[in-house]
Structure 1
């Protein structure tokens, strides 16, 4: 009985072989005539019963069909599969795995050669659509193909793909792979200062502060005049609680690019941290001279001015003599009035900036008894803010 069952299975497999080969041939013919939908249907059916036969050509044709789906300009064909490239890639690998006689190497190599630009385009598209994990996967597929034995000695090291893989890994917060690929970029002298700066940033986010600083300074040694490197150094020391070190690099950045308002704005923030408020004001003013629509500098300048008046207000409140207090508070209110234009200017740059609106509301309330117009402005601002909730 067992022997009979075995014979029946073998007969079914033989039958399946003929059916499969027929479907594979049909799929190839449909593909040649440009009927990709019918080619897909045929190959999907023809490759179903893979337990009965290991047929390398079936997987080669499957790869071609699904690669054709990806490369087709027609939406009707492109929508036949969500992951055609990945399916094609796996099919080619399967064809090589089953290829005992070595007949698949040449045709698979031809298809894999075309998969390099295909996966590169896919990676770029995914990156641009913010699918960074998908972009990383596609970039890595390019690197996997280029590292195959069939291409050994034929292709140069694809440094651009390695660097792009690093950026995609960084964006997707895959720090382990980002570190790996940035270090490879540095090994191949690709990416310049960006490789060092980005690697330092990734190492810091991964919790490796010591190595992060090492690459930051190594990058600066190699690229002392690179603005990208300088910005990373400035950010590191400003955010790391060592503003005095940041000043040195900011001065160098300003000397290299005196028309870059962001450097003056950063130095204004630095002076605020060291409580050198007059110097901070000058830096914000300079930044706004270079870029009148610099929202951050305008807002920071307004807050700086407001804080300076608040200090005077606090001092006035400590005066016990009524006459001296009244004189001091009058000066304070006059100073508050001078602050208003700074925040109205912020709202010209960014009309719905809520913090500035709230600060203006408070200023109008403080000055309501000094000028009736401010009470009306207070009510208007309050109504506007209430409408935003």
Structure 2
């Protein structure tokens, strides 16, 4: 009697297991027929049952179904992304169930090649490769529709599926940076700088800018510059970044050594000349600073900062002389004031072309316009002063002098 009861129990267990396997088979059939919602309901049920939930092929089937849903979804919205992400996670979990063995039967199914348009849908594998291709296509489609948020999400999925995909990683990083998703941008650009035989200069540029700008971490930015210069020793922009960061970190001696070295290779670089002038100015060498600012303007006549800084030195010199005149005794004033005032006026005159150019480059900058008005007024350049006055009136109103 006991044997009979045991036999009946074993038959019951076998029947239940067989029933669940029938559910999985039904899910496979509905998957191939395109009845995806039905197939998903069935495979979810199988994944809840003790008899089939630990079979990697059951979870793989779920990932296949989700991939087919993902590819077919033309909405290309957050829900679409969620389906794709779920499929990706299930592919990853399936691979873990076979000890990450890509050469196993299941492993080969996960990464099976899929070429849309060659085979009918019922014969396509809808593997992780399908997911990658579909996500890339959706990334392009949404980008062309100016939906950059979704385009980023789809490119990010592609790059997570294949971290060595340089196109997906760069596009994801670029879009993330543009969208203000700086942590995500760093992830993708850091992936790129780890890839051999890839031109990663632009990735370094982005990482440097994020570190110095958004993260306010000049040390990390300088680390990226150092790494980049080992690979791109001739790049002039990296030299400028290095000098700028050293200045930001108040490492004046190192900055001076760096800018001098850079100028040997690129003597007409207006940005480097400006920084060299700034370092000289900080050390008290005003004559040397002025010389570098003037060189910067010769190298690039439309360089706003070069024009402004050169004009500012002439202006400061003139004002310093007039301040000295005001402190002269009556006796000294009679002797020295006329000559000193003439010298100051000459310096004011020297400043005019630099501030005039700076004003042309930034016509809404009222500070420069006010400086020009004061200089022209002092030098009795009446018509020029009135021209500047009219510009200030147009920007600030007729009572601008009373502000």
TM-score (norm 1): 0.64
Q: After TM superposition, give the deviation of residue 237 of structure 1 in Å.
A: 0.8
Name the CA distance, whole Å, in 1 between partners of 2:242 and 2:307: 25
For residues 135 and 206 of structure 2, what CA distance do their matches in structure 1 show?
26
Correspondence for 1:143 among 159, 162, 169 = 159
CA distance in 2, matches of 1:161, 1:290: 39
Residues in 2 aligned to 1:296 and 1:315: alpha-carbon distance in whole angstroms: 28
Cα drift, residue 386 of structure 1: 2.2
Pairs within 5 Å for 1:68-217: 69=74, 82=77, 86=81, 89=84, 106-109=124-127, 111-121=130-140, 136-146=152-162, 157-170=164-177, 174=181, 176-189=183-196, 190-192=198-200, 195=203, 198-199=206-207, 202-203=210-211, 206=215, 213-217=222-226
User: CA–CA distance in 1 between the matches of 2:249 and 2:288?
Assistant: 21
Q: What whole-Å deviation, never above 9, does each CA across 1:189-232 have from its counterpart, x for those lacking one?
A: 44545555654554555466655544443444454333233222
Using the alignment, how far apart are the partners of 1:95 and 1:197 within structure 2?
36
Task: Tell me the equivalent position of 1:252.
Answer: 261
Does the Cα contact within 8 Å between 1:175 and 1:202 map onto a contact in 2? yes
Is 1:143–1:158's contact at 8 Å kept on the other side of the alignment?
Answer: yes
- Tell me, which stretches of 5 or more residues in structure 2 are unaligned? 1-25, 45-60, 95-105, 113-123
Tell me the residue number matched to 2:326: 317
**Contact residue 284 and residue 298 of structure 1 kept, 8 A:** yes
| Gap regions ≥5 residues in structure 1 | 1-16, 29-42, 70-79, 148-156
How big is the shift at 1:182? 4.3
> Equivalents in 1 of 2:391, 2:131: separation in Å?
64
User: Following the alignment from structure 2 to structure 1, what is the Cα–Cα distance between the partners of residues 90 and 187?
Assistant: 31
Contact 1:361–1:381 under 8 Å retained in 2:
no
Q: How far apart, in 1, do the equivalents of 2:322 and 2:205 lie? A: 45
CA contact (8 A) 1:306 1:336 kept: yes
Aligned partners of 1:47, 1:295: CA distance in 2, in Å? 63
Q: Secondary structure at the match of 1:108?
A: coil
Cα distance change, pair 222–47 in 1 and its aligned pair in 2 (3 A): closer
2:376 is matched with 364
Q: Is the partner of 2:374 in helix, strand or coil?
A: helix
Q: Are residue 329 (structure 1) and residue 346 (structure 2) matched?
A: no
- Please name the residue that 2:118 is paired with: none
Match of residue 365 from structure 2: 353
Aligned-partner Cα distance in 1 for 2:68–2:202: 42
Larger radius of gyration: 2
Q: Give the Å deviation of 1:239.
A: 1.6
Question: Which residue number corresponds to residue 279 of structure 1?
Answer: 288
The answer on whether the counterparts of 2:229 and 2:238 sit within 8 Å (CA) in structure 1 is yes
Out of 254-263 and 81-90, give the one that drifted further: 81-90
Does the 8 Å CA contact 1:250/1:267 hold for their aligned counterparts? yes
Aligned pair count? 325
Instruction: Say whether 1:63 aligns with 2:79.
Output: no
- How many angstroms does 1:138 deviate by? 3.2
* 8 Å CA contact retained: 2:139, 2:152: no
Q: 3-state SS of the aligned residue for 1:275?
A: coil
Could you tell me whether the CA contact under 8 Å between 1:139 and 1:164 is conserved in 2? yes
**What is the RMSD of the two structures over their aligned residues, measured on CA atoms?**
4.5
Residue pair 1:62, 1:91 contacting (<8 A) in 2 also: no
1 CA distance for matches of 2:275 and 2:153?
Answer: 37
Q: 2:396 aligns with which of 363, 366, 386?
A: 386
Provide, for residues 7-37 of structure 1, a one-character-per-residue CA deviation record: whole Å limited to 9, x for no partner.
xxxxxxxxxx9xxx8xx97xx7xxxxxxxxx
Q: Check 1:158–1:313 CA distance in 2 against 1; reply closer, same or farther (3 A cut).
A: same
Shift of 1:306: 0.9
Question: How far apart in 1 are the matches of 2:326 and 2:135?
Answer: 73
Counterpart selection for 1:338 from 329, 345, 350: 350
Larger mean Cα displacement after TM superposition, 249-258 or 114-123 = 114-123
Q: Aligned partners of 1:210 and 1:344: how far apart in 2?
A: 38
Deviations 1:336-381 (A, max 9, x none): 23322322222333333322112112323444xx465466456435
CA deviation after TM superposition for structure 1 residue 263, in Å? 2.2
Deviation at 1:58, TM superposition (A): 7.5
SS at match of 2:126: helix
Give the equivalent residue in structure 2 for 1:297.
306
Distance 2:356 2:246 in 1: 33
